Amino acid sequence: MLLPLLLLTAGLLLPHQPAASLKLTFEPYYEVVFPKKIDTQYKRDVQGKYPDVLQYGLHLGGKHLVLHLEKNEDLLSANYTETYYLPDGTPVTTSPKIQHHCYYQGNVKNDNGSLLSLSTCSGLSGLIQTEGQMYLIEPLKETDSEAHAVYEAQMEIPKTCGVDNTTYRKEIVVKKSRSGTSAEQQKILKAQKYVHLYVVADNSMFVKYNRSIPIVKTRIYEIINFVNVVYKAINTFVALTGIEVWNVSDQFKVVTSAAQNLGAFSDWRKNVLLSRNPNDNAQFLTNTDFDGATVGLAFVASMCTDSQSAGVNQDHSEPSIAIGATVAHEMGHNLGMNHDSNSCSCGANSCIMAPDLSNNMPRLFSKCSLQNYQDFLFSQMSQCILIVPPKEDIIAPAVCGNKFTEIGEDCDCGTVEECTNPCCDAATCKLMPTAKCAEGECCDNCQIKKPGDVCRAAKDDCDLADFCDGMSPVCPSDRFSVNGSPCKNGQGYCFNGRCPTHQSQFTTLWSVKNPNISTGESVALRIPSLLTHS
């Protein structure tokens, strides 16, 4: 029997308390602040309404804060699309080349534990986290220099939960190296990961936000800006490859059952969406009030699959970061993360994968979540997020110091303060004078390896070793054994780099068609995980 993973709160003990009762509320009094823009001298700034780097000063709680903001250049992918529908139900997809936007991330100066996730579209709005406290800021007028309200966010729920929070980690089977962490696995851990995300807002979202597609788009951007902040901390970049608004009618019947919605959305993604808008993962947003205390649902360890790399999320609270935390949690399940047990910690009051809620909005992953993620990365299901997008796929203007090697740059190792790559000049994003390369499997001590050096060892019978060509620091594309070659001691035949056997096909087939069959990894991939707030 498939077991759901439940994120619960003590509100579940009150059977008549509606799910919609979870919301961020604020203190009776808010503080009025007047942000003042500070001139910056960054040469890489793009002059205009939304420069690459911004700084604001403001007084909050008797202290002067300097907000250092950098534009979220990872928010949109190069093949970003927007889809809406004509009155007759015909989908219309456009590919706007959005070169400049108003979504920023950053920190409070002299506070290493701080976090900023802000929009500057019409004044400053979003999250300010400093000295362990979370604040939400929003403009009282529409400019960034006039009065803003700052609220100290609190939850309407107790901090503890009386529900047994079993993680079910033992249900997820991950293939590990018998000799511990191999050199190849170390490369995977150090490599940047990329999730090309597609977000769908249903008709109830369209109705909720004044039947305005631009307002729904803004809501999605704010949500994913926070998701991007959360995942960037674990070297994983989440970029929007597309958004879709069901402005005429829903493409499937949206109901109060989160499980039914997840099944229908996953089927729609596989049968309709992927053929026109390829993506690594899709998240569904709805204003429908899910049954009970549920506000989200996702499959575990399903990222990169056609049928299960998806999650459904209820737009349950006014602040976009609250929904961003929900989406980050559900995507965490897609990436193999289970709910945290009591022994898991992240150095904060609440972690992203915690099974209950606390007063502070979570933004960090626990050590347990990071171990789950590592296990998933070592499995064969993670291949799509390990593919580095070409420079041309990054649509924003090149920004030296953002750890993306963009057009016009030889390398990008981060800011001058954080760069540890001896081959790259962090100030210019150019190679050092004697360097021929800065990164790549075929780059060693800033020099390109000679032809014939192995850069990717054969993994198994159906994989072939790959060799450096002496010209590029990048290892050539992975090569596989010829389809039909025998593998696993004759138990199967290679097909596209894998060795399907009669037994593995039988297991996969029946664990998909009969959810009551307990057959290891295949069933684990179908375990839905409920993020429930009360």
Judged by DSSP in three states, 509 sits in helix
Q: Residue 40's pLDDT is what?
A: 64
Location of structure tokens 């609440």: 350
Q: Are residues 189 and 280 in the same domain?
A: yes
DSSP state of 385: G
Classify residue 177 as exposed, middle or buried by CB count within 10 Å of its CB (0-12, 13-18, 19+): exposed
Location of structure tokens 């900023």: 116
Quote the CA–CA distance of 464 and 482 in Å, as a whole number: 10
DSSP string, 156-169: SS-S---S-----G
Domain for residue 513, yes or no? no
Judged by DSSP in three states, 147 sits in coil
Alpha helices in 233-358 (DSSP H): 258-268, 274-276, 320-334
Q: Are residues 77 and 202 in the same domain?
A: no
Q: How far is CA 129 from CA 36, 74, 173, 225, 405, in A?
A: 18, 21, 37, 15, 29
What pTM was estimated for this model as a whole? 0.65
Domain for residue 522, yes or no? no
Judged by DSSP in three states, 454 sits in strand
Location of structure tokens 């796929």: 393
Q: How far is CA 320 from the centre of its chain?
A: 15
Domain for residue 337, yes or no? yes
Question: Does the pLDDT of residue 347 top 70, yes or no?
Answer: yes
Domain for residue 392, yes or no? no
Q: Are residues 247 and 301 in the same domain?
A: yes
Query: How many helices (DSSP H) and strands (DSSP E) are in the chain?
Result: 9, 27
Domain for residue 75, yes or no? yes
pLDDT tens profile 393-419? 554 456 687 777 777 889 988 888 889
Q: Are residues 215 and 315 in the same domain?
A: yes
Q: What is the sign, positive or negative, of the torsion defined by CA atoms of 429, 475, 194, 268?
A: positive
From 49-53, 112-116, 419-423, 507-511, the region with the lowest mean pLDDT: 507-511
Q: Which is higher by pLDDT, 180 or 245? A: 245
Q: Are residues 204 and 337 in the same domain?
A: yes
Quote the CA–CA distance of 442 and 439 in Å, as a whole number: 8
Instruction: Confirm or deny that 148 is annotated as ligand binding.
Output: no
Q: Are residues 116 and 228 in the same domain?
A: no
Number of domains the chain contains: 2
Per-residue pLDDT, averaged over 196-216, amounts to 96
Q: Are residues 55 and 147 in the same domain?
A: yes
Whether 222 is a known active-site residue: answer: no
Tokens found for residue 360: 């502070």
For residues 511 and 519, is the Cβ–Cβ distance under 8 A? yes
Instruction: Confirm or deny that 101 is annotated as ligand binding.
Output: no
Q: Are residues 113 and 251 in the same domain?
A: no
For residues 533 and 295, is the Cβ–Cβ distance under 8 A? yes
Per-residue pLDDT, averaged over 282-297, amounts to 92
For residues 66 and 109, is the Cβ–Cβ distance under 8 A? yes
500 contacts: CB under 8 Å, gap ≥ 6: 492, 493
Q: How far is CA 375 from CA 283, 333, 372, 379, 459, in A?
A: 23, 13, 5, 7, 17
Q: Residue 394's pLDDT is what?
A: 52
The crossing angle, in degrees rounded to 10, of helices 183-190 and 367-377 is 120
Residue 175: closest CA among 314, 18, 377: 377
Quote the CA–CA distance of 508 and 365 in Å, as a whole number: 31
Given pLDDT bands bounded at 50, 70 and 90, which one contains residue 145?
low
175: amino acid identity, one letter: K
Q: Which is higher by pLDDT, 375 or 9? A: 375
Domain for residue 403, yes or no? no
Location of structure tokens 């604020």: 26
Quote the CA–CA distance of 462 and 312 in Å, as a whole number: 36
Domain for residue 215, yes or no? yes
For residues 32 and 67, is the Cβ–Cβ distance under 8 A? no
Per-residue pLDDT, averaged over 70-83, amounts to 82
Contacts of residues 424-432 at CB distance under 8 Å and 24 or more positions apart, as own/partner, are 426/400, 426/401, 427/400, 428/400, 429/398, 429/400, 429/401, 429/405
Tokens found for residue 350: 């609440």
Pick the catalytic residue from 73, 171, 330, 409: 330
Provide the strand spans (E) within 75-207: 76-85, 91-94, 103-108, 115-119, 125-130, 133-139, 148-155, 193-201
* Percentage helix, strand, coil for the chain under 3-state DSSP, each rounded to 5: 20, 25, 55
For 238, the domain range is 176-387+527-532
From 119-128, 246-255, 298-307, 363-372, the region with the lowest mean pLDDT: 119-128
Given pLDDT bands bounded at 50, 70 and 90, which one contains residue 422?
very high
Q: Are residues 39 and 114 in the same domain?
A: yes
Quote the CA–CA distance of 330 and 353 in Å, as a whole number: 9
Q: Residue 314's domain is classified under what CATH number?
A: 3.40.390.10
Domain for residue 267, yes or no? yes
Tokens found for residue 239: 């970029």
Quote the CA–CA distance of 152 and 131 in Å, as a whole number: 13
For residues 506 and 155, is the Cβ–Cβ distance under 8 A? no
Q: What is the sign, positive or negative, of the torsion defined by CA atoms of 197, 198, 204, 208?
A: positive
Residue 334: closest CA among 350, 361, 313, 315: 313
Q: How far is CA 267 from CA 243, 302, 306, 500, in A?
A: 18, 14, 9, 24
Tokens found for residue 23: 């919301």
pLDDT tens profile 512-528? 333 333 222 322 233 34
Q: Are residues 202 and 143 in the same domain?
A: no
Q: Are residues 74 and 207 in the same domain?
A: no
pLDDT tens profile 218-239? 899 989 988 988 998 899 989 8
DSSP string, 211-224: T-HHHHHHHHHHHH
DSSP string, 34-79: --EEE----TTPPPSSS-SEEEEEEEETTEEEEEEEEE-TTSEEEE
Q: Are residues 199 and 342 in the same domain?
A: yes
Question: Does the pLDDT of residue 460 top 50, yes or no?
Answer: yes
Angle CA 412–225–271, to nearest 5: 100
